Amino acid sequence: MENYDVYEYDVLIIGSGGAGLRAAIAAREAGCKVGVVCKSLLGKAHTVMAEGGVAAALANMTNPDGSKEADSWKVHFVDTMKGGAFLNNWRIVEIFAKEAPQRVLELEQYGAVFDRTPEGLIAERPFGGHKYRRLNHVGDRTGLEIIRTLQDKAVGVGINVHMEVTCTRLLKNADRVVGVLGYYRESGRYIVLKAKAVVLATGGWGRMFKYTSNSWEGTGDGLMMAYEAGAELLDMEMIQFHPTGMVWPPGMRGILVTEGVRGEGGVLRNKKGERFMFNPDYMPPLYKGQFADTEEEGARWLEDKQNNRRPPELLPRDVVARAIYREVEAGNGSEHGGVYLDVTHRGAEYIKRKLPSMYEQFHAMGGVDITKEPMEVYPTIHYTMGGIRVEPESCATTVPGLFAAGEVAAGLHGANRLGGNSLSDIIVFGKRAGEAAAAFAASAKQGEIDDTQIEEEQNYLMSPLLSASGENPYTIHQELQENMQKNAMIARTEAGLLEALEKIQELQKRAEHLHVDGDRFFNPGWHAARDIRFMLKTSEVIVRCALERKESRGAQWRLDYREMDNADWGKKNLIASKQEDRVQITAVPLQEMPEELKKLFEEVK
Amino acid sequence: MSNITLRVYRGNSSGGQMVSYEVPKAPGMVVLDAIHYIQKNLDTTLACRWNCKAAKCGSCSAEIDGKPRLMCKTSVEDYPEGVITVGPVRAFPILKDLVTDVSWNFRIASKIPPLQVREEAAGKPFVLQQVDVDRVQEFRKCIECFLCQDVCHVIREHNRKDAFFGPRQMVRIAGLEMHPMDDLNRREQLRAEAGVGMCNITKCCTEVCPEHIHITDNAIIPMKERVVDDYFDPVSGLLRTLGVLPKRTKKPFKSVPNEQTVIVGNTTLAAK
Ligand SMILES: Cc1cc2nc3c(=O)[nH]c(=O)nc-3n(C[C@H](O)[C@H](O)[C@H](O)COP(=O)(O)OP(=O)(O)OC[C@H]3O[C@@H](n4cnc5c(N)ncnc54)[C@H](O)[C@@H]3O)c2cc1C
Ligand code: SF4
Ligand code: SF4
Ligand code: FES
């Protein structure tokens, strides 16, 4: 076994996105010694890329008649449950909807500077699936504002930050998690971070698909470390296809076009120029009658939200993504195989003020002036609703000493996430996880580190460098991406999923014999060799769960089971866990919602 | 489609050289795409940083044909000869290839206290007009690419990291100093350890900022004026005592407890 550096903390946070940083602040404020570890530099996590806004029912917006929009946590609760096709954990949603406004206002106290309404309050914009204007925003760079605010606050309260360290294995003592092993990306040396309690805030996993809005970080490490440590995973089949990713040029394929474009009035058209979202075939029964029937009403809504219904471009993401998919399949696609998203009618000045980074992104990198021409868009892999199963109040996983918050955790979004709900998720549950971890740490001792676990992982990490020959991890990654894109994307079938599974298993075998050149100094090839194994296992779990759920619900759209099966599948979640070397999948019944919450669905109509 | 030639710096703290790679050109290709092509197909050991690939995270800073730029925002079409030179930013110590040790920036940042809210506004939703926050929002667009730090001669040529926080942190402090709700006298820090006086307004930083922040005109110059005003201008001092100019009532800088944040460095010990 090779030597390693050791650091000890009361609470260790893995991940420095919004969830990790908010947890760090909470644990520090509870008096703990806190360490934060992340794969990139501070402030570069996915959170920085979020654009449209953070959803919280502040009810700041005014109707034309001078009254305030009737938003409240109750409406946010109902919208989120409906958006998630009722697979969500109602208790998690309840906590979320109630606490999101406080957490957003707290960001303002920490230094975030949101856009303002004419009355000087935080401005809120409309978004898909949200009944009222609810996305608190800063132009289209809300994530940057949030991560920078939390980063500045966190370093202000006094923490240790380990940047550019990749963690690869949680260390256990009997049942409990007592630390983690990682390597410095720069030098390749090993580091062990010991802690009384660990919070996983490692974000989502999109990199196993070909077209994704995710960065290189989204390889599922945190998820798989937890799985290996015995944690239960929930709803893993539920992966969000954001309806609008860039299509052209090829290097930009998959990069996100914020839903804020549609929130600000952008419309979708096919190559015939039709506003295809008005096609009644695309309207889910659950939302019938709640959206504009005509383009005229949709246009009037921009100015008067009180007396008009919103255009159907603002249906939940799964609905819009499917419609785009079907348009393109039907031969109505644009030049490069997408559809058109047009916001030119809002005028250049307005667009540049409200969507500056979209303007810049298309102008500098796509060669398109969005104030003058439409964008081409197609669904892109964006977000993972599934993840680690957690307790609603404490974010505790099923493994003692291990907590999880943010995109890596599951339960809030059910079968489909509403835009903006993630940024509020990470601040609400980041705080809760930090507090619960601090409480756990207060009554726990530092655990013993077992060197055999370290040695095992070191051997695993070293094998691609020591092998004389073997496959290039990038080749396997590329084949995995093609496979997932083809067989586990928006439209799923049993045959396709089985093909996907078979291919994954083949790739897993091949990934046992990797070879990479060079040494351990900042060597992307070596890093990729570990990442690919996390990605393969994650893909396996996704595909197995997708096979199991024999219905269409939210993001899971089965061409061979087109109906939503409320009597059976609508009543259960799928849980994946590790049994020996097998992925065990179990269906567990959803908890019955209490009467007072059920009543909200009548009340809120 | 034709090829382009990328000349990429390969090396570490003990030296290195430019290495040429032939990369097939694709429509709309940016320099980062070309670097990724090399990583995947020609040399998996080539080190670079990136995250968003959309000019939002500030990770992929490099010097392209000698100019500090974001690799993800630089089209290969901008180099019609088809030869592009890519090297690491030079104001910071090189780690490997295109990756440099920028941790100094994070250490400095931890010396700047976050917003200290005025008592009457604490714990309540702020009421602020858009015009009152426009300027602050300009500063908060910063993506921490550190290209301005790279190009600032105080840091790059004179290596005065001991005396000047650099343009990035000037922007950061300006965003706090001009925040209508902030209650900390940031001018003490600006004049002393942050070293606003070190800047001699060459505006090189403003030229390279990918977020088009007017670093010198909107952040540094007004702050220089405020500092001068406070410390060296007896007339304004007198007018203030007489109540003609508003009294500065912000809390002294020391009033913020200095909580220790440690940016734990990468170990520089050799790996076996
Ligand atoms: C382009 C884009 C736009 C978006 N827009 C919006 C929006 O407008 N509104 C909204 O609500 N949501 C939006 N989202 C979703 C939202 O940004 C994310 O879900 C959210 O930021 C996730 O935060 P997080 O803290 O859970 O994780 P992340 O921000 O993803 O952070 C994960 C952290 O974990 C670290 N990490 C991962 N693996 C390891 C490891 N093995 N070892 C050490 N560290 C590790 C990473 O380095 C990183 O610091 C968007 C997402 C994208 C990609
Ligand atoms: S203007 Fe000042 S901060 Fe900017 S580059 Fe010149 S000396 Fe440096
Ligand atoms: S001020 Fe501009 S150049 Fe400097 S770090 Fe920020 S974004 Fe980069
Ligand atoms: S990769 Fe994020 S700025 Fe270039």
B171 and B61 together in one domain: no
Nearest to residue A414, comparing CAs of A96, A52, A53, A22? A96
A259: CATH:
3.90.700.10
B90 and B200 together in one domain: no
B62 and B177 together in one domain: no
* B272, B207 Cβ separation under 8 angstroms: no
As a whole number, mean pLDDT of residues A570-595 equals 97
- DSSP collapsed to 3 states, B199-240: CCCCCHHHHHCCCCCCHHHHHHHHHHHHHHHHHHCHHHHHHH
Tokens representing B154? 């105080």
B90 and B120 together in one domain: no
Question: How does pLDDT run across A350-394, given as a tens digit for each residue?
Answer: 999 999 989 999 998 888 999 999 999 999 999 999 999 999 999
The position carrying tokens 């550096």 is: A5
Query: Which of A109, A253, A357, A467 has the highest number of chain B CBs within 10 A, making it the mutation to test binding with B?
Result: A109
Please report the pLDDT score of residue B272 as a whole number.
31
Count of Cβ atoms closer than 10 Å to residue A517 Cβ: 13
B74: CATH:
3.10.20.30
Q: What three-state secondary structure class fits B28? A: coil
Q: How far apart are CA A570 and CA A55, in angstroms?
A: 26
Question: How does pLDDT run across A200-214, given as a tens digit for each residue?
Answer: 999 999 999 999 999
* A54, A420 Cβ separation under 8 angstroms: yes
Tokens representing A530? 């570990």
Question: How does pLDDT run across B238-252, given as a tens digit for each residue?
Answer: 777 677 766 657 999
Q: What three-state secondary structure class fits B87? A: strand
B53 CA distance to ligand 4 middle (Å): 5
Please report the pLDDT score of residue B260 as a whole number.
86
B135 and B229 together in one domain: yes
Please report the pLDDT score of residue B271 as a whole number.
35
Strands B94-96 and A176-184, by their bridges, are unpaired
Contact B47 A524 (CB under 8 A): yes
The DSSP output letter for A383 is: E
Nearest to B267 among A48, A113, A189 (CB): A189
Contact A523 B133 (CB under 8 A): no
Going by alpha carbons, the residue nearest to atom 6 of ligand 3 is B142
| pLDDT band (50, 70, 90) for residue B1 | low
- Kindly tell me the sign of the dihedral angle through the C-alpha atoms of A9, B257, A99, A321: negative
Please report the pLDDT score of residue B249 as a whole number.
78
The H-or-E segment that residue A330 falls in is none
Contact A43 B39 (CB under 8 A): no
Strand partners, B84: B6
Please report the pLDDT score of residue B266 as a whole number.
60
Residue A509 within a domain? yes
The H-or-E segment that residue A437 falls in is helix A421-442
Angle at A64 between CA A60 and CA A70, to 5 degrees: 40
Number of structural domains found in chain B: 2
* A293, A313 Cβ separation under 8 angstroms: no
Q: What are the start-end ranges of the H helices in chain B?
A: 31-37, 103-109, 130-140, 147-151, 153-156, 167-177, 187-191, 204-208, 221-232, 234-241
As a whole number, mean pLDDT of residues B266-271 equals 45
Contact B110 A156 (CB under 8 A): yes
The domain boundary residue, chosen from B66, B83, B100: B100
Q: How far apart are CA A104 and CA A157, in angstroms?
A: 19
Please report the pLDDT score of residue A550 as a whole number.
97
Contact A256 B40 (CB under 8 A): no
Residue A187 within a domain? no
A chain contacts of residue B128, beta-carbon cutoff 8 Å: 116, 120
The domain boundary residue, chosen from A329, A354, A381: A381
B chain contacts of residue A375, beta-carbon cutoff 8 Å: none
As a whole number, mean pLDDT of residues A400-416 equals 98
Q: CA of A100 to nearest chain B CA: how many angstroms apart?
A: 14
B181 and B261 together in one domain: yes
A chain contacts of residue B51, beta-carbon cutoff 8 Å: 40, 44-46, 48-49, 215-217
A chain contacts of residue B26, beta-carbon cutoff 8 Å: 249-251
Please report the pLDDT score of residue B257 as a whole number.
85
The catalytic position among A76, A148, A207, A262 is A262
Question: How does pLDDT run across A99-110, given as a tens digit for each residue?
Answer: 999 999 999 999
The domain boundary residue, chosen from B69, B100, B131: B100
Q: Which of B35, B70, B141, B208 to mutate to test the pocket of ligand 4 (most atoms within 8 A of CB)?
A: B70
Please report the pLDDT score of residue A4 as a whole number.
95
Cα distances from B32 to residues A24, B18, B29, B249, in angstroms, run 33, 17, 8, 49
Residue A179 backbone class (left: φ over 0; alpha: ψ -120 to 50; beta: rest): left
Residue A175 within a domain? no
Q: CA of A213 to nearest chain B CA: how many angstroms apart?
A: 8
Domain that holds residue B115: 103-270
How many CB pairs below 8 Å do chains A and B form together? 223
By CB neighbour count within 10 A (0-12 exposed, 13-18 middle, 19+ buried), where does A469 fall?
Answer: exposed
Tokens representing A280? 């009644």
Residue A103 within a domain? no
Does residue B268 surpass a pLDDT of 60? no
Tokens representing B86? 């890519």
Question: How does pLDDT run across A121-160, given as a tens digit for each residue?
Answer: 999 999 999 999 999 999 999 999 999 999 999 999 999 9
Q: How far apart are CA A365 and CA A252, in angstroms?
A: 8
B129 and B256 together in one domain: yes
The domain boundary residue, chosen from A330, A349, A381: A381
Strands A176-184 and A491-492, by their bridges, are unpaired
Ligand 3, pocket residues at CB < 6 Å? B 58, 142-148, 167-168, 171, 208-211, 213, 215
Q: How far apart are CA B62 and CA B30, in angstroms?
A: 13
B189 and B81 together in one domain: no
Please report the pLDDT score of residue B258 as a whole number.
79
Instruction: Enter the pTM of the model.
Output: 0.96
Nearest to A49 among B40, B54, B95 (CB): B54
Residue A167 within a domain? no
Contact B264 A162 (CB under 8 A): yes
* B199, B154 Cβ separation under 8 angstroms: yes
Contact B56 A141 (CB under 8 A): yes
Q: For residue B50, how far is the Cα from the chain centroid?
A: 16
B90 and B31 together in one domain: yes
* B8, B18 Cβ separation under 8 angstroms: yes
How many residues does this entry show for chain B? 272
Asked if the peptide bond before residue B113 counts as cis, ω within 30 degrees of 0, the response is no
The domain boundary residue, chosen from A381, A405, A438: A381
Please report the pLDDT score of residue B238 as a whole number.
72
Does residue B234 surpass a pLDDT of 90? no
By CB neighbour count within 10 A (0-12 exposed, 13-18 middle, 19+ buried), where does B198 fall?
Answer: middle
Tokens representing B233? 């201008």
A487: CATH:
1.20.58.100
Does residue B100 surpass a pLDDT of 70? yes
Please say if A242 is a catalytic residue.
yes
Q: For residue B4, how far is the Cα from the chain centroid?
A: 31
Please report the pLDDT score of residue B233 as a whole number.
66
By CB neighbour count within 10 A (0-12 exposed, 13-18 middle, 19+ buried), where does B211 fall?
Answer: buried
Q: Is B184 on the interface with A (CB under 8 A)?
A: no
Strand partners, B5: B22, B83
B43 and B90 together in one domain: yes
Ligand 1, pocket residues at CB < 6 Å? A 14-20, 37-40, 45-47, 49-54, 142-143, 166-167, 182, 201-204, 213-214, 217, 221-222, 256, 383, 406-408, 419-423, 426
Nearest to B106 among A42, A519, A524 (CB): A42
Q: Is B118 on the interface with A (CB under 8 A)?
A: no
Does residue A575 surpass a pLDDT of 90? yes
Please report the pLDDT score of residue A328 as a whole number.
96
Residue A158 within a domain? no
Q: What three-state secondary structure class fits A586? A: strand
Please say if A262 is a catalytic residue.
yes
Contact B262 A249 (CB under 8 A): no
Closest atom of ligand 1 to CA, residue A430: 25
Side chain identity, residue A270: N
How many residues does this entry show for chain A? 605
B116 and B235 together in one domain: yes
Question: How does pLDDT run across B110-144, given as a tens digit for each residue?
Answer: 999 999 999 999 999 999 999 999 999 999 999 99
Residue A523 within a domain? yes
Number of structural domains found in chain A: 2
Q: Which of B200, B207, B214 to mutate to test the pocket of ligand 2 (most atoms within 8 A of CB)?
A: B200
DSSP annotation string for A139-172: TT-HHHHHHHHHHHHHHHH--EEE-SEEEEEEEE
* A378, A328 Cβ separation under 8 angstroms: yes
B50 and B107 together in one domain: no
Tokens representing A561? 């089971």
B chain contacts of residue A138, beta-carbon cutoff 8 Å: 137, 140
Q: What three-state secondary structure class fits A573? A: strand
Query: Which of A41, A242, A380 has the highest number of chain B CBs within 10 A, making it the mutation to test binding with B?
Result: A41
Q: Verify whether ligand 4 is closer than 6 Å to residue B49 (CB atom).
A: no
As a whole number, mean pLDDT of residues A586-601 equals 97
Please report the pLDDT score of residue B248 as a whole number.
59
The H-or-E segment that residue A196 falls in is strand A190-200
B234: CATH:
1.10.1060.10
By CB neighbour count within 10 A (0-12 exposed, 13-18 middle, 19+ buried), where does B3 fall?
Answer: exposed
- Closest chain B residue to the Cα of A149, Cα to Cα: B114
The DSSP output letter for B270 is: P
Q: How far apart are CA A373 and CA A367, in angstroms?
A: 11
Side chain identity, residue A283: M
Domain that holds residue A541: 464-567
* B95, B74 Cβ separation under 8 angstroms: no
Going by alpha carbons, the residue nearest to atom 6 of ligand 2 is B202
Angle at A12 between CA B56 and CA B58, to 5 degrees: 15
Q: How far apart are CA B169 and CA B164, in angstroms?
A: 9
Nearest to residue A586, comparing CAs of A238, A239, A235, A240? A235
Q: How far apart are CA A51 and CA B237, in angstroms?
A: 45
Side chain identity, residue A408: V
Q: How far apart are CA B163 and CA B194, in angstroms?
A: 7
Angle at B30 between CA B26 and CA B34, to 5 degrees: 70
* B16, B90 Cβ separation under 8 angstroms: no
> In the predicted model, what is the mean pLDDT of chain A?
96
Question: How does pLDDT run across A178-232, given as a tens digit for each residue?
Answer: 999 999 999 999 999 999 999 999 999 999 999 999 999 999 999 999 999 999 9
The catalytic position among A185, A242, A389, A432 is A242
Q: Give A570's contacts (C-beta < 8 A, 6+ positions apart).
A: A85, A86, A87, A551, A553, A564
Contact B125 A108 (CB under 8 A): yes
- Kindly tell me the sign of the dihedral angle through the C-alpha atoms of A41, A520, A524, B42: positive
Q: How far apart are CA A551 and CA A564, in angstroms?
A: 6
Does residue A546 surpass a pLDDT of 60? yes
**Reduced DSSP (H G I as helix, E B as strand, rest coil) percent helix, strand, coil of chain B, to 5:** 35, 15, 45
Nearest to residue B172, comparing CAs of A409, A293, A149? A149
Q: How far apart are CA A235 and CA A254, in angstroms?
A: 24
Closest atom of ligand 3 to CA, residue B61: 8
The position carrying tokens 């994307």 is: A489
Nearest to residue A420, comparing CAs of A409, A412, A430? A412
Backbone angles phi, psi at A359, to 5 degrees: -55, -50
As a whole number, mean pLDDT of residues B252-257 equals 90
The domain boundary residue, chosen from B100, B125, B152: B100
Q: How far apart are CA A377 and CA A368, in angstroms?
A: 13
Q: How far apart are CA B108 and CA A511, in angstroms?
A: 43
As a whole number, mean pLDDT of residues B7-18 equals 96
